Structures are given as structure tokens and as C-alpha cells.
């Protein structure tokens, strides 16, 4: 009887990828980053293991929101106290803290468990086009719009 081969974390090799978010919609950038963090681009993808790679998102300040979402979309947070709901428009959030807008979009596309938290730790977001990860020799991830436009 032949056994089915199952990938383990010892079998994988983690790479570093750069996503340039300049001029791309926020959701498309976030979904590509989440896909790389999960490891779904690999042929040995296993859902219950952290198979993903490290992702660097550059130019987070130049990410776009399509339509009128910049004025109509809000980011909500709650302090936990009565009446502690706070909201901020997305154009203000992108102006004040673009890293937060991108990282929250990616985080909410990952699983809500310890596996998702481990994946999220491999995400690095920077507002400009400079990053301190040259020693890891990251490669540029080419965003393929045809693959997502089915």
C-alpha cells in the first residue's frame, strides 16, 4: 500500500518577495500578499501548515482605492468601553498611516487563528520605496492582473 506524501515545515524553503503597491488597488495588493503569506502559490501548499513566504510591500502610501471608496469607506475600531466606537475615513487613514491601511487589509484576509498570526508576522509594509531587507535578497513579485480577472 502506498502512502500519500504530505508536506512538512522542514521540507519548505522560505523566499522573500517584494510587491510594489504604487498605482494598484488596495484589495488586489492585499489579496496577492495574503496569497504569498499563506503559500498558495506553491505546489506543496498544505492548508494546516504555514507554508508561505516573507512579503515586503513597498509604496503603501501610493495605493489606490477604486470608485468613491476613499470618501465613503470607514475604518472602525472600538476601545471596549461603552461609547468607545471610533471611525476614520479611508482617505484620512491612508494619509496618516498608509502602512496600517495595507497591513489591516492583508491581516483580515488571513485566518483568524494562531496560524494566521504566524503568517502575518512575515509581512513588512513600508510607505516609500526603501526597505532594510537587502540582505535577504528579495525578488520582485510580478502582479498578474489576468490571473485574477476571471
3-state secondary structure of 131: coil
Cα 65 to Cα 6, 61, 128, distances in angstroms? 40, 11, 18
Name the β-bridge partners of 17: 55, 139
Give residue 150's pLDDT band: very low, low, confident or very high (50, 70, 90): very low
Tens digit of pLDDT for each residue in 22-68?
Answer: 999 999 999 999 999 999 999 889 899 999 999 999 999 999 999 99
- Supply the CATH classification number for the domain 16-65+96-142: 3.90.1180.10
**Residue ranges of the domains in the chain?**
16-65+96-142
Percentage of residues of the chain with pLDDT beyond 70: 95
DSSP code for 64: B
**Residues 14-20: what's their mean pLDDT?**
96
Phi and psi dihedrals of 24, rounded to 5? -105, 150
Give residue 113's pLDDT band: very low, low, confident or very high (50, 70, 90): very high
Give residue 75's pLDDT band: very low, low, confident or very high (50, 70, 90): very high
Amino acid at each position: 500500500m502506498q502512502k500519500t506524501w504530505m508536506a512538512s515545515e522542514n521540507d519548505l524553503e522560505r523566499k522573500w518577495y517584494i510587491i510594489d503597491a504604487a498605482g494598484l488597488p488596495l484589495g488586489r495588493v492585499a489579496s496577492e500578499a495574503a496569497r504569498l503569506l499563506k503559500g498558495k502559490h506553491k505546489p506543496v501548499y498544505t492548508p494546516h501548515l504555514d507554508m508561505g513566504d516573507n512579503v515586503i510591500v513597498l509604496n503603501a502610501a501610493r495605493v489606490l482605492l477604486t470608485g468613491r471608496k476613499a470618501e465613503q469607506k470607514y475604518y472602525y475600531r472600538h476601545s471596549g468601553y461603552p461609547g468607545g466606537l471610533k471611525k476614520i475615513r479611508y482617505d484620512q487613514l491612508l494619509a496618516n498611516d498608509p502602512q496600517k491601511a495595507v497591513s489591516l487589509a492583508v491581516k483580515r484576509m488571513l485566518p483568524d487563528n494562531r496560524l494566521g498570526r504566524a503568517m502575518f508576522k512575515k509581512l513588512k509594509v513600508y510607505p516609500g520605496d526603501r526597505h532594510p531587507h537587502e540582505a535577504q535578497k528579495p525578488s520582485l513579485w510580478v502582479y498578474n492582473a489576468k490571473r485574477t480577472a476571471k
